[in-house]
């Protein structure tokens, strides 16, 4: 069965064609993304109205591109999986309305998918992983630890109390005048810097060791930048020291969760999962405890529609479908 995936929860418009026969197993025939970084860069962050207006323009061409790359037409598609939340409501509505229109026109079913479920299942796109597995979802909007028990059964063990880790990368990059989005720039700059140049405090939530907090590090960097020492510190050193702090703060709760659940596999997913130092440190720390790290290819870490098709596919195969009344939900819970 060919599933068309559609994703517009934030500033990327994405479409993918995924061929599936069995839950969790399938072949990605195409995965196309229209990125809006050049538009939002001018404002130093995502402007929701611009994001949805641009989705209106790019959504159908991206769907056509995904189908052309997969060598198929709408008549070949058996069902559509579309993100219905959480995310920016204006952005979500564009993808959802496209999915409904195409499903109606082709006389095929569609299902609404939770964006986080997509991220949680993304590691399965190119790897066979036995369930249960532990997943760290770490992006610009989320920082959470989940046990993926089965398709449709997810248990949250930890969450950020304030900012997401990606948000900290983006805000610190903005403070340092490095542009938007900040994660990749800081990652690249850090390769030339000293990780121990500046010692920032590592936030820990003692009562809840599997939770995260990233608002403090952002404030620490802001006040350091204004200090004499801050003015004298090279950006490479500051970037590397900040990144090392964030990696430590992601590592500790993840290791606590892996130990508590006796996880043999830990999957990293979400945009920040592309961070080279996070991958390196996480792989080392897990290997030392005889656990395995699975991190999807970069294009499946960041927002994409292949993961949405994967997350919708097991429900499609069961014969589930949603009604045309289905609404977008900016705060959809998993």
Binding site for Zn ion (CB under 5 A): 139, 303
Give the residue among 310, 322, 321 at the shortest CA–CA distance from 22.
Answer: 310
- Which of these ranges, 25-33, 135-143, 197-205, 307-315, lies near ligand KG4 under the rule CB under 6 A? 135-143
Give the residue among 245, 278, 227, 274 at the shortest CA–CA distance from 172.
Answer: 245
Alpha helices, DSSP H, located in 71-88: none
Give the residue among 10, 1, 3 at the shortest CA–CA distance from 33.
Answer: 10
Residue 170 binds ligand KG4, judged by CB under 6 A: yes
- Which of these ranges, 46-54, 93-101, 180-188, 289-297, lies near ligand KG4 under the rule CB under 6 A? 180-188
139: left (phi over 0), alpha (psi -120 to 50) or beta: beta
Q: How many residues bind ligand KG4 (CB under 6 A)?
A: 19
Our CB check for ligand KG4 shows the closer of 102 and 295 to be 295
CB of 108 to ligand KG4, least distance (A): 27
Residue 10 binds ligand KG4, judged by CB under 6 A: yes
CB of 207 to ligand KG4, least distance (A): 27
Structural tokens at position 280: 């390196």
From the list 174, 184, 252, 292, which residue makes contact with ligand KG4 (rule: CB under 6 A)?
A: 184
Residues 6+ apart with CB under 8 A from 254: 134, 136, 145, 266, 282
**Interface characters, 217-246, with ligand KG4 (x: CB under 6 A):** ------------------------------
Give the residue among 243, 241, 140, 250 at the shortest CA–CA distance from 194.
Answer: 241
- Rounded to whole angstroms, the Cα distance separating 138 from 117 reads 13
- Which of these ranges, 22-30, 124-132, 264-272, 306-314, lies near ligand KG4 under the rule CB under 6 A? 264-272
Residue 211 binds ligand KG4, judged by CB under 6 A: no
From the list 302, 313, 317, 322, which residue makes contact with ligand KG4 (rule: CB under 6 A)?
A: 302
Q: Which of ligand KG4, Zn ion, none binds 213 (CB below 5-8 Å, type-dependent)?
A: none
Distances (CA, A) of 316 to 191, 259, 309: 44, 35, 10
């Amino acid at each position: 069965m060919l599933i068309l995936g559609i994703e517009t929860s934030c500033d990327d418009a994405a479409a993918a064609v995924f061929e599936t026969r069995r839950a969790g197993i399938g072949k990605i025939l195409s995965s196309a993304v229209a990125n809006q970084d050049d538009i939002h860069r001018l404002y130093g962050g995502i402007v929701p109205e611009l994001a949805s207006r641009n989705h209106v323009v790019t959504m159908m061409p991206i769907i056509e591109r995904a189908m052309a790359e997969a060598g198929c037409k709408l008549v070949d598609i058996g069902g559509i999986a579309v993100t219905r939340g959480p995310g920016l409501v204006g952005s979500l509505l564009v993808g959802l309305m496209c999915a409904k229109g195409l499903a109606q026109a082709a006389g095929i079913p569609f299902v609404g998918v939770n964006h986080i479920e997509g991220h949680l299942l993304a590691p399965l796109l190119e790897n066979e992983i036995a369930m249960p597995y532990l997943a760290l979802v770490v992006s610009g909007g989320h920082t959470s630890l989940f046990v993926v028990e089965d398709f449709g059964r997810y248990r949250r063990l930890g969450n950020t109390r304030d900012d997401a880790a990606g948000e900290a990368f983006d805000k610190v990059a903005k403070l340092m005048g490095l542009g938007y989005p900040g994660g990749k720039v800081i990652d690249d700059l850090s390769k030339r810097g000293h990780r121990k140049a500046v010692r920032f405090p590592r936030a820990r939530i003692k009562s809840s060791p599997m939770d995260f907090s990233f608002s403090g590090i952002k404030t620490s960097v802001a006040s350091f930048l204004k200090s004499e020492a801050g003015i004298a510190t090279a950006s490479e050193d500051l970037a590397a020291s900040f990144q090392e702090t964030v990696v430590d703060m992601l590592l500790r709760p993840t290791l606590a969760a892996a130990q508590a659940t006796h996880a043999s596999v830990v999957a990293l997913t979400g945009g920040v999962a592309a961070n080279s130092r996070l991958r390196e440190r996480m792989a080392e720390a897990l290997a030392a405890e005889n656990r395995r790290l699975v991190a999807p290819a970069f294009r499946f870490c960041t927002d994409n529609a292949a993961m949405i098709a994967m997350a919708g596919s097991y429900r499609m195969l069961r014969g589930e479908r949603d009604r045309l009344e289905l609404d977008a939900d900016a705060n959809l819970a998993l």
